[in-house]
Structure 1
Amino acid sequence: MTRSLTLTLLAAATLSACTQTPAESARAIQDAAATQLALDKELAGLVPTGNRLTCLPPLPSAHVEGYGSTLVYSVSSRQKYRTETGGGCEGVGRGDILVTTSNGGRTCQGDISQTIDRTSRFPTGSCAFGPFVEYRRP
C-alpha cells in the first residue's frame, strides 16, 4: 500500500512539473505572436508564386533566417524561399549555425539539418525540411 501511494505521488509530482503555469502559457503565446509578426515582416511585399519545390534550385548565395519552425532562404530582397520544418531548428532564430547535409549538392525536402551553437560549437537541434515555397516581389 505504501509503495503504490509513493508511486502515485511520484507520478503526480512528475506530471505537475510538466504543466505550464498561466504565466508560462501567456509567455508562449506572446513569443509565438512575435515570431509570426517577424515572419510576416520578412515576407512583406512578396507573394507566393504557387511553386512548391521539392529541392531548392542552385543558388549563388542565400541567407537563412529562422522564425520558429519556419526557415526562410533569402536570395535577394525580391526572391525568397520558405520551408516548414517539423521543429527542432528553432535555434536558427537566435543565431545558431544551420548545417545541412544534402545528397546531390542540392537542399531538398526531407534533408536533415543540424543547428550548432556559435560559441560552444555544440549541437542544439535538428530538423527535416518540408517543401520549399517560392516568394517573389510582384
Structure 2
Amino acid sequence: MYRFILPVVLLCAGTAALSSDHGVAARKAADRAKLDKALAGLVPGKPQQCLDARDAAGTERIGNTILYKQSRRLIYRADTNGGCYGLDRGDAIVSQQFGSQLCAGDPIRTIDLLSHIPSGVCTIRSFVPYRAPK
C-alpha cells in the first residue's frame, strides 16, 4: 500500500513546489514592472543614509521597496532587507526614528490594519533619490 501512496504524495508535493515558485517569480516580475513604471523618466542620484521626515509626503510600497514621494519630480527609493512581510498587503508602516530623520538601519514594522497584529520587521538599506531631468 505504501509503495503506491508515497509516489503520489511526492508527485503532489513537487507540483505544489513548482507552482509556488512560478507564483513568486510572477509576483517579482509584476513588482519590477510596477517599480519601473513608478520611476520612469527619473534619474537616480547618489544614495543617502538619511531622509528628513518632512521630505516623506507620501509612500508607495512595491515588493520589498518603499517609495517616499516628495513631489512628482523627486522620489526617494528605499529598498528593505525583506523582513516586512505586510508591505505587499498594504499594512501600516510604523517607523522608529531617532531624531527628525529616518536613517538606514532604523527599524520599520508593518502592522495589519484590521487585527493590529505586527506582520514583520525590516530595515532600510539606503535612500536613493530619483529626480526628473532638468
What's the TM-score once normalised by structure 2's chain length? 0.82
Which secondary structure does the structure 1 equivalent of 2:35 belong to? helix
Of residues 15, 19, 35, the one that matches 1:39 is: 35
Residue 36 and residue 132 in structure 1: after superposition, are their counterparts in 2 closer, same or farther (change >3 A)?
Answer: same
CA shift, 1:92, in A, is 2.2
Distance in 2, Cα, partners of 1:79 & 1:65: 13
What's 1:134 paired with?
Answer: 129
What's the TM-score once normalised by structure 1's chain length? 0.80
Aligned 1:55-134 pairs, distance under 5 A: 55-59=50-54, 61-134=56-129
Distance in 2, Cα, partners of 1:90 & 1:42: 21
Residue 61 and residue 29 in structure 1: after superposition, are their counterparts in 2 closer, same or farther (change >3 A)?
Answer: closer
Distance in 1, Cα, partners of 2:52 & 2:62: 22
CA shift, 1:40, in A, is 0.8
Which secondary structure does the structure 1 equivalent of 2:19 belong to? helix
Of residues 38, 46, 50, the one that matches 1:51 is: 46
Distance in 2, Cα, partners of 1:65 & 1:91: 13
Residue 66 of structure 1 contacts residue 90 of structure 1 at CA under 8 Å; is this kept in 2?
A: no
Q: Please, which runs of 5 or more residues in structure 1 have no aligned partner?
A: 1-16
CA shift, 1:36, in A, is 0.6
Distance in 1, Cα, partners of 2:106 & 2:119: 17
Q: Please, which runs of 5 or more residues in structure 2 have no aligned partner?
A: 1-12
User: Which segments of structure 1 move beyond 6 Å, counting only runs of 4 or more?
Assistant: none
| Higher deviation after alignment, 51-60 or 100-109 | 51-60
Taking every aligned residue pair, what percent have the same amino acid on both sides?
42
Distance in 1, Cα, partners of 2:112 & 2:33: 25
Aligned length in residues: 123
CA shift, 1:33, in A, is 0.3
CA RMSD, Structure 1 to Structure 2 (Å): 2.2
Distance in 1, Cα, partners of 2:66 & 2:47: 15
